[in-house]
Structure 1
Amino acid sequence: MRRWWCLIVAVLVSMAAATGCGAAVDTGAVSTEGAFLNLQPRENLRDGGSLTTAIAEVSAQWNTFHADGSAYTLALWRWYNPVLAYFSPDGEYSPNPDYVTDVRKDTVDGDTVVTYRLNPKAHFNDGTPIDHRAFVETWRINRGLDDRYIVSSTDGYRQIASVTRGADDREVIVRFDGVYAWPDGLFNVVLHPKAADPDVFNEGYIRTPHPEWGAGPYTIASYDPGNGTVVFERNPKWWGKPGKLDRRVFRQMETQAALNAFQNGELDATGVAAKDARARVLTMNDIDIRTAASPQMALLVLNLDSPILADRTVREAVLSAIDRETLARIRFTGLNYTEELPGSLSLYPFQPGYSDNLAAVLTHDRARAEALLERAGWARGDDGIRRKGGTRLSLEMPNTGDDVTGQNLSRALQAILEQVGIELVVRQRPSADFSQIVINKEFDVFMMGFSSSDPFGMAYFCQVWCSGSQLNPAGAGSPELDAKIAAMARIGDPAEQIEVGNRLEREAFAQYSNLPLFNGPSMVAVKQGLANYGAGQFYVGPIEDIGWEK
């Protein structure tokens, strides 16, 4: 699953960590080998306490399956809804036994068949059993055959032929149409059957989290949409091991406010994957800085609905002009961190099968950018900015949040584009406007990002590149490309699908709509003693085991 997120927020703090004592220490080059998780067994944790962190946006849409859901939506969803699967830091799948006691995968008559055995104790908070009906409705809504549902992705679900009851209500049989390469990426979260009405699915979760339709160790104690505060408490209807924390609190805050709150002891953890943030916390005592490779991609998106950018030649010129190495240096200044420039929006450089697909299509070439603009009829004016038929070559870019690194990146991008005669007007917007900007396409150019909730990136190729996809804010794509993507998705062998997908991504990049910028580390500052939390790469684990050491 892919989810868009606000670019400059240093990290969506998930679960992970490293231990230490005394003041935070700069140990030299940042290592991102594996995850940094202060993994502790439950018996090492005390009962009670709270965990408070910042979140860039508590979006109005609480339904993580809806197209308007972001990475922040999913982060909150996982704290009060069924999470049926865990992932190790490197992406190995395992079922959550509180919901799924067994998963069997077979190939029957040329079709992938997955049989789930569900825990007989599992139920939603309103008493509805978590059984085959939750799987049926989750599939029916997300398979893409009913356009009344505004879903975030149909990837995988549209290749399922049937979802049926097995030997009893607690057995689910999922049969695909052919061999499917990535079954572990599906049904890791499920929707309550009562949300299956199209109006409820689309509108029912707006500013209404519906904790009664959730399940898990925690439930919502309070939600204040005015100031963006969400408080979770132990769920008395939970059948598993109780949560170690008394309270889990999310507060909607800008980056600088979050850093101030962390330094003042009001927050227990905050993302610090930016120069100024990291420098500030390095002076603090009794904290850890927990770092891992990040399954997040920052990219520049061009809005093809913009009259100027509707011209493919202009888009190629814009992207050819951009010096990604300069932007990456700004992004990672002060972090003791470097990485190769990313060349894929499907896989990360630390994953098997990764290929730099961008290199075959686009390189930084200022002279070529200028020549392309001349060819497209854009001539320099007296002020250096190009014009065509009385129209100024001016593009608008929102910058969300108050992060210093984000502002520096925006200024650098302005200077880079001005060199080839393009004016970039930066409009400052609060982080809370992020979803509105994406949904309403309130940009010509936008630096944003997505996070991956599992390692099956090629399974979500269509989310980024299919025409009409809600997670394709550029508006790129074509019927011909859509058909090729659909054919690729039907390749049952994972290695072969990745190989074909890499070739197809080169064709997709040739639309000049999306430019990968950098991945970066996940870097989280936490108060010492916080266990099972931090920087975890693909890690998804039991939230009931997050807590404070004795």
Structure 2
Amino acid sequence: MRSARRGAGLVALAAITALVLTACGGGGGGSGAAVGDATGGAAKAGNDINPVDPAQLRQGGDFLWSLASLPPQFNRNQVDGTEADNADIMNAVMPIIFKGDAQGVLNPDPDYLESAEVTGTNPQVVTYRLNPKFAWNNGRAADWTDFEAQWKARNATNPAFLVAGTTGYTDIAGVAQGATPQEVVVTYAHNFADWRSTFVPLYPRETNADPQVFNEGWLNQPIVDQGAGPFMFDSIDRTAQRLTLVRNPKWWGRTPVLDRIIYVGLDYNAQPEAFANGSLSFLEIGPSVPFFQRAQQVPGAVIRKSNGPNYRHITFNGAPGSILEDPAVRKAIMKGIDRQIITQSQIGPIVPDARPLGNHLYVEGLAGYQDNSGVVAFNPDAARQELDAAGWTLQGDVRVKDGKQLTIRDVIPTGTPVSEAEARIVQQQLGQIGVQVTIDPVPLDNFFEQYVYTGNFDITHFAWLSTQTPVSSSSGIYRVANELGQNYGRIGNDTINQLLDQANQELDPAKQRDIVDQLDQEIWNAGHSLLLYQRPDAIAVQSNVANFGAFGFADEDYTAIGFTQ
């Protein structure tokens, strides 16, 4: 199960040990939540994909790509289309006009864009110049009307469009033609720093002009004549859980090395043996030490690793009336949890030098990362003193205030060994400072819907997925607003809100990073959530697979994937 860094809107991608949620955002950046991640580690530069000049590879062949299941919706901009599995398919079929590199920097894809730049700042204006060869499979040249239609579909003005998210699109005041139909001029109502996250992926006006096509036209299979990528849809067999893409004869860019990409929906626990017997071209090791150990036994297999965008954390519930409403109590409890022990216990077998994460917006490997977690560094003596000062005094083994015991409910999903292990460690460690933890396993299928979304917890464990545009995509997690958004613990303040606004509107990357540093410090000071550890990509492939593996923050180049001679 590969993670979609560029998805938008809330989405669940279920497997035996994982459930992924993607945060509300624009077409580009989106955060996500995952249950069951268990790999992670210290930052490693770049990625690990065995780079080889595509011209030197064996031309042709099939690449067997595992999915948890075939997606229910192939429009990635529709609310049901943001599964990670769908991104793995549709990113080979549709225009991804900006692609992330190994450092998480978004760059224009020259197959689609000759240039894209901010051409005005008061108001902000972005001008896109399309590659004149950029055309949809129906033969129509892509032009400014495709951008206009997607803006109108996703800017929340027409509720008939059931969109994945509106971030970025609601900031736009207008889309117009420039000097030619292939020059697109986007004017913003106010500055939006992560403008590269919009129009990714781009769908044609034939989809975005009609709510019925937008919502239902892509349900059964991709619409072939509305694609514009190196591959195109060939066939689908939902009974056998197989979807096949073939080279697109209308593609104007570099001819793909592969003949076909065959996506195989397969039970999560069956994937290691399928990889071992050659039924899959790669195995995502992800959260599983047993997967890691099994991959090590496969003849000819190599394990490629890089720093990845996911990270585990513990969300605290600070809603009015909750037992953890007081930020001083939340921070004291955080000081009673040894994050290094949790990190080593969960991911040490795969990444021995793993260390806890220290920044809520930037993971290690992204420019601007700075560890600000010192304010909640493990210090059980300080934790005891601060709980005493907050009025929670020890009576026997448990602290009490106003006749009420300091007992907190840790809600975790069933069938997720990572959450279970983390919860047991937290229970043991907090018991040492007089905080009683009750572990409450709830059904995986409704963990988010009935517990996380509704604030039905005191603390809970899952993972967020970072992106190349973390500021805009994470805003809903930390903002306090009339609507809940994804701030499930209801923790925040006006200072955090103001810094989020400043960071989202600051076009200078260096200045934005300074603001984000202040913002992260405020989030730690508020006792919002306790970050645990970052996981890298860990992918097993046969040694003859080239230009594929642990992509880290980068996006795949589907034309380059292939096999050595």
Whether TM-score is above 0.5 comes out as: yes
Residues 322 and 416, structure 1, Cα contact 8 Å, conserved in 2: yes
Assess, with a 3 A threshold, how the Cα gap between structure 1 residues 415 and 148 changes in structure 2: closer, same or farther: farther
Residues 230 and 558, structure 2, Cα contact 8 Å, conserved in 1: yes
Deviation sequence 1:376-413 (CA, Å, 0-9, x none): 787889996989878993525333766x5555334333
Tell me if 1:543 matches 2:555: no
For residue 262 of structure 2, what is the amino acid of its counterpart?
R
Match of 1:19 in 2: none
For residue 272 of structure 2, what is the amino acid of its counterpart?
L
Assess, with a 3 A threshold, how the Cα gap between structure 1 residues 198 and 30 changes in structure 2: closer, same or farther: same
**In structure 1, what is the Cα distance between the partners aligned to 2:43 and 2:335?**
31
**In structure 1, what is the Cα distance between the partners aligned to 2:550 and 2:306?**
5
Match of 1:363 in 2: 377
Tell me if 1:495 matches 2:510: yes
Match of 2:5 in 1: none
**In structure 1, what is the Cα distance between the partners aligned to 2:135 and 2:170?**
26
Match of 2:360 in 1: 345
More displaced 10-residue stretch of structure 1: 286-295 or 207-216? 207-216
Please state how far the C-alpha of 1:539 moved relative to its aligned partner: 1.7
Please state how far the C-alpha of 1:4 moved relative to its aligned partner: 1.0
**In structure 1, what is the Cα distance between the partners aligned to 2:250 and 2:451?**
37
Please state how far the C-alpha of 1:503 moved relative to its aligned partner: 0.8
Residues 2 and 453, structure 1, Cα contact 8 Å, conserved in 2: yes
**In structure 1, what is the Cα distance between the partners aligned to 2:220 and 2:266?**
17
Match of 1:175 in 2: 187
Assess, with a 3 A threshold, how the Cα gap between structure 1 residues 236 and 30 changes in structure 2: closer, same or farther: same
Please state how far the C-alpha of 1:70 moved relative to its aligned partner: 4.8
Residues 245 and 544, structure 1, Cα contact 8 Å, conserved in 2: no
**In structure 2, what is the Cα distance between the partners aligned to 1:324 and 1:434?**
24
Residues 96 and 109, structure 2, Cα contact 8 Å, conserved in 1: yes
Assess, with a 3 A threshold, how the Cα gap between structure 1 residues 246 and 76 changes in structure 2: closer, same or farther: closer
Residues 65 and 261, structure 2, Cα contact 8 Å, conserved in 1: no
**In structure 2, what is the Cα distance between the partners aligned to 1:106 and 1:407?**
48
Q: Over aligned residue pairs, what C-alpha RMSD do you find?
A: 4.0
Please state how far the C-alpha of 1:36 moved relative to its aligned partner: 1.3
Residues 536 and 552, structure 2, Cα contact 8 Å, conserved in 1: no
Tell me if 1:523 matches 2:551: no
Please state how far the C-alpha of 1:154 moved relative to its aligned partner: 4.5
Match of 2:283 in 1: 270
More displaced 10-residue stretch of structure 1: 187-196 or 329-338? 187-196
Please state how far the C-alpha of 1:368 moved relative to its aligned partner: 5.5
For residue 44 of structure 2, what is the amino acid of its counterpart?
T
Tell me if 1:134 matches 2:134: no
**In structure 2, what is the Cα distance between the partners aligned to 1:30 and 1:129?**
45
Assess, with a 3 A threshold, how the Cα gap between structure 1 residues 245 and 412 changes in structure 2: closer, same or farther: farther
Match of 2:13 in 1: none
Please state how far the C-alpha of 1:499 moved relative to its aligned partner: 0.7
Decide which of 91, 103, 107 is 2:115's aligned counterpart: 103
For residue 248 of structure 1, what is the amino acid of its counterpart?
I
Deviation sequence 1:397-443 (CA, Å, 0-9, x none): 333766x555533433343345521112234637xx78757885586
For residue 187 of structure 1, what is the amino acid of its counterpart?
F
Match of 1:50 in 2: 62
Question: What are structure 2's unaligned runs of at least 5 residues?
Answer: 1-28
Assess, with a 3 A threshold, how the Cα gap between structure 1 residues 399 and 250 changes in structure 2: closer, same or farther: farther
Q: Counterparts in 2 of 1:235-274, with a 5 A limit? A: 235-243=248-256, 244-254=258-268, 256-273=269-286, 274=288
Residues 10 and 272, structure 1, Cα contact 8 Å, conserved in 2: no
Decide which of 332, 337, 353 is 2:347's aligned counterpart: 332
Residues 119 and 127, structure 2, Cα contact 8 Å, conserved in 1: no
Decide which of 457, 465, 472 is 1:451's aligned counterpart: 465
Decide which of 52, 57, 60 is 1:40's aligned counterpart: 52
Assess, with a 3 A threshold, how the Cα gap between structure 1 residues 221 and 409 changes in structure 2: closer, same or farther: farther
Decide which of 412, 424, 437 is 1:422's aligned counterpart: 437
**In structure 2, what is the Cα distance between the partners aligned to 1:544 and 1:220?**
15
Match of 2:314 in 1: 300
For residue 519 of structure 1, what is the amino acid of its counterpart?
Q
Residues 4 and 471, structure 1, Cα contact 8 Å, conserved in 2: no
Match of 2:245 in 1: 232
Match of 1:3 in 2: 31
Please state how far the C-alpha of 1:317 moved relative to its aligned partner: 5.1
**In structure 1, what is the Cα distance between the partners aligned to 2:236 and 2:456?**
30
Residues 44 and 549, structure 1, Cα contact 8 Å, conserved in 2: yes
**In structure 1, what is the Cα distance between the partners aligned to 2:490 and 2:213?**
24
Secondary structure in 2 matching 1:219: strand
| Number of positions where the alignment pairs a residue of Structure 1 with one of Structure 2 | 527
Residues 230 and 248, structure 2, Cα contact 8 Å, conserved in 1: yes
Decide which of 74, 90, 95 is 1:82's aligned counterpart: 95
Residues 31 and 466, structure 2, Cα contact 8 Å, conserved in 1: yes
Please state how far the C-alpha of 1:150 moved relative to its aligned partner: 6.2
Secondary structure in 2 matching 1:288: strand
More displaced 10-residue stretch of structure 1: 376-385 or 533-542? 376-385
Residues 10 and 271, structure 1, Cα contact 8 Å, conserved in 2: no
Assess, with a 3 A threshold, how the Cα gap between structure 1 residues 205 and 329 changes in structure 2: closer, same or farther: farther
**In structure 2, what is the Cα distance between the partners aligned to 1:277 and 1:132?**
47
Assess, with a 3 A threshold, how the Cα gap between structure 1 residues 426 and 385 changes in structure 2: closer, same or farther: farther
For residue 294 of structure 2, what is the amino acid of its counterpart?
R
Assess, with a 3 A threshold, how the Cα gap between structure 1 residues 270 and 463 changes in structure 2: closer, same or farther: farther
Decide which of 191, 199, 206 is 1:187's aligned counterpart: 199
Assess, with a 3 A threshold, how the Cα gap between structure 1 residues 77 and 474 changes in structure 2: closer, same or farther: farther
For residue 523 of structure 2, what is the amino acid of its counterpart?
A
Secondary structure in 2 matching 1:295: strand
More displaced 10-residue stretch of structure 1: 486-495 or 60-69? 60-69
Assess, with a 3 A threshold, how the Cα gap between structure 1 residues 475 and 459 changes in structure 2: closer, same or farther: same
Question: What are structure 1's unaligned runs of at least 5 residues?
Answer: 13-28
Residues 11 and 271, structure 1, Cα contact 8 Å, conserved in 2: no
Tell me if 1:117 matches 2:117: no
The sequence identity of aligned pairs, in percent, is 22
More displaced 10-residue stretch of structure 1: 207-216 or 218-227? 218-227
Assess, with a 3 A threshold, how the Cα gap between structure 1 residues 422 and 144 changes in structure 2: closer, same or farther: same
Assess, with a 3 A threshold, how the Cα gap between structure 1 residues 440 and 352 changes in structure 2: closer, same or farther: closer
Assess, with a 3 A threshold, how the Cα gap between structure 1 residues 122 and 365 changes in structure 2: closer, same or farther: same
**In structure 1, what is the Cα distance between the partners aligned to 2:196 and 2:519?**
23
Deviation sequence 1:304-360 (CA, Å, 0-9, x none): 569746624564455343321111011222124324422212112333322223334
**In structure 1, what is the Cα distance between the partners aligned to 2:152 and 2:389?**
49
Match of 2:7 in 1: none
Assess, with a 3 A threshold, how the Cα gap between structure 1 residues 233 and 439 changes in structure 2: closer, same or farther: farther
More displaced 10-residue stretch of structure 1: 495-504 or 469-478? 469-478
**In structure 2, what is the Cα distance between the partners aligned to 1:113 and 1:130?**
20
Please state how far the C-alpha of 1:194 moved relative to its aligned partner: 4.2
**In structure 1, what is the Cα distance between the partners aligned to 2:70 and 2:452?**
15
Q: Counterparts in 2 of 1:148-167, with a 5 A limit? A: 153-167=165-179
**In structure 2, what is the Cα distance between the partners aligned to 1:471 and 1:331?**
26
**In structure 2, what is the Cα distance between the partners aligned to 1:453 and 1:525?**
23
Please state how far the C-alpha of 1:167 moved relative to its aligned partner: 2.3
Secondary structure in 2 matching 1:2: coil
Secondary structure in 2 matching 1:91: coil
**In structure 2, what is the Cα distance between the partners aligned to 1:38 and 1:121?**
30
Match of 1:20 in 2: none
